[in-house]
Amino acid sequence: MSVALTSSPAPASSRQQPLRVMVVDDSVVIRGLISRWIASEPDMVVAASLRTGLDAVNQLERINPDIAVLDIEMPELDGISALPLMLAKKRNLIIIMASTLTRRNAEISFKALALGASDYIPKPESTRVATAADIFHHDLIQKIRSLGAKLRQKGPAPSPALDRMRELSPRTAIANPDLLRRAFGTQAPRALLIGASTGGPQALMTLVAQLGPVIDRFPVLITQHMPPTFTTILGEHLARSSHRPAHEGVDGEIIKVGQIYLAPGGRHMRVARQGGEVTIALDDGAPVNFCKPAVDPLFTSAIDVWQGGVLALLLTGMGSDGTRGGKEIVAAGGSVVAQDEASSVVWGMPGAAAHAGICAAVLPLDQIAAKLVRLFSGDRS
């Protein structure tokens, strides 16, 4: 993530009401800091600043926020306990979990995602360090704005009866034909590269559970925008979901089929050739696209190793990371697939690639694995 930090422009339309954000944290310093940041943005407003999860649950209906920034560790009722109670009262509430970078808090954040939280954000150990505070500020405002935009697209929460009708109706993929402009590359893919950000952990765990035939025969490498500790735990979750080894890549490690390699938080992951082997190459360079790890370094490095035999997949996430690398992959003869807007938590990264005209397919999450299995089995359509 970058320290050259500016917030993305607020939506131009003045007809939309500002996003109502509830800040829930037992630290008066953090509450005040976040509240000041939100109050300075033209498209969002502080709906409430509360000390405990119990306050948030009890006052939720009166305050009626669009988004809640929810601390994990609080007195009376902690964040993970308050989360399901808040969603029970307002099921389309967007909740961003906030926690310091410890293994325990990272595990709780993953549990929160499974319980319905939309995203998480690591809090700096000290807000007195300007760089750490600036990164936290930038990332939090970006997450609130991006997730809020998705909320506005969805509109009001559907009724339970409508939900049941949707469950009973067959799922169909609605693709925008203007976004499907490119045929798949003529070369058979020899490696699968995946980039993801907001909403990525859940999407990845769903995906790898169905990708056994690909993982067993081809290298699979993933860059998920995520800090240290979180990527370690994500690797453990991916291993359980896929029933294959999954771990953070190690510099110089020989890449083997049958395993999933994950870019470690805080370092870019590339691939390189050493003699006759393909290896992991990690670096501690500057953030790319405000991210570290970033997707573009992985994508571009793969061209030197596999030329046109690269299939790149962009899953849900903010920003446009992966589009530049995807363009280079396509120019080299490879292919790019993107998750569709309806199934994405945020259609930033996959949407940027789709609108750039580099995608051979834009698919719902529940159709991507089957498509990849066919492509890696020789289907070129």
Q: What is the domain-level CATH number for residue 277?
A: 3.40.50.180
Model pLDDT, residue 4:
36
Beta bridge partners of 362: 338
**3-class secondary structure, 263:** coil
The answer to whether residue 251 sits within a structural domain is yes
133 and 275 belong to one structural domain: no
Report residue 39 as tokens: 């109050």
CB 119 within 8 A of CB 291: no
Q: Which residues of the chain have pLDDT under 50?
A: 1-8, 12-14, 156-175
Model pLDDT, residue 264:
98
Model pLDDT, residue 135:
84
CB 365 within 8 A of CB 206: yes
pLDDT digits (tens, 9 = 90+) for 200-241: 999 999 999 999 999 999 999 999 999 999 999 999 999 999
Model pLDDT, residue 146:
93
187 and 279 belong to one structural domain: yes
> Helix, strand, coil proportions of the chain in percent (round to 5)?
40, 20, 40
pTM of the model: 0.87
146 and 265 belong to one structural domain: no
**3-class secondary structure, 195:** strand
Q: What are phi and psi of 123, to 5 degrees?
A: -90, 145
pLDDT digits (tens, 9 = 90+) for 38-53: 999 999 999 999 999 9
Instruction: Give the list of residues 6+ apart from residue 50 with CB closer than 8 angstroms, or none.
Output: 22, 23, 24, 31, 56, 59
The answer to whether residue 302 sits within a structural domain is yes
113 and 187 belong to one structural domain: no
Cite the active site residues: 197, 225, 321
Q: Which domain holds residue 46?
A: 19-154
